[in-house]
Amino acid sequence: MRKLRLLLIGAVAALLFGLSLFPSHGQSLSHRVAGLSITEDVSAQQEPKVGADRASSIALLKLLEFSPDLKGLVVTSTYHSPAFLSATDESGRLVLNFRAARDVWVIQFRAPSQDSWANIRALVTINAQSGIVESASLAKWN
């Protein structure tokens, strides 16, 4: 009986240890990408159906819908995140946050000074499976 109990305890311990090696739902990691701190869910991974060039084109079209007179937009960073949760800027300010992980392209743009604005930046996320714009923001400041 004692051997059976020890064997059972050992089996449960081995099972629990084995399960701890796999990422569980809700675990995340953060890393820096072109001035943003990106937070991702570690459990989701898949290859994008929409490529970086197509995602960048979709993002540019969306930004030109916001501001059709804007000239000289240039992609400064394109990053595929299979499980994007949030992004903060260099000062730690939250710039984008989703409630659940999203498979997106994170695309950053800049434009030269124009129309009395010294700085023009944009951030767009494109669904990497469907090509749908998940979010877009355009900032102008002096």
In a domain, 119, yes or no: yes
In a domain, 17, yes or no: no
Start-to-end CA distance of the chain, whole Å, equals: 78
**pLDDT score, position 5:** 62
Single pTM value for the model: 0.74
What are 13's two structure tokens? Answer: 């311990």
**pLDDT score, position 36:** 80
Q: Which of 142, 133, 141 is nearest to 64 (CA)?
A: 133
Place of tokens 């701190």: 37
Q: Are 124 and 75 in contact (CB under 8 A)?
A: no
In a domain, 131, yes or no: yes
**pLDDT score, position 68:** 95
Q: Are 111 and 64 in contact (CB under 8 A)?
A: no
**pLDDT score, position 22:** 46
**pLDDT score, position 121:** 94
Query: 3-state SS of the chain: helix, strand, coil percent to 5?
Result: 25, 45, 30
Q: Which of 56, 45, 62, 100 is nearest to 79 (CA)?
A: 56
**pLDDT score, position 41:** 74
Report residues of the chain scoring pLDDT below 70.
1-26, 28-31, 43-44
In a domain, 94, yes or no: yes
Contacts of 25-32 spanning 24+ positions with Cβ under 8 A = 28/85
In a domain, 51, yes or no: yes
In a domain, 31, yes or no: yes
In a domain, 104, yes or no: yes
Domain count, the chain: 1
What are 31's two structure tokens? Answer: 């890393």
Which range marks the domain in which residue 128 is found? 25-141
In a domain, 29, yes or no: yes
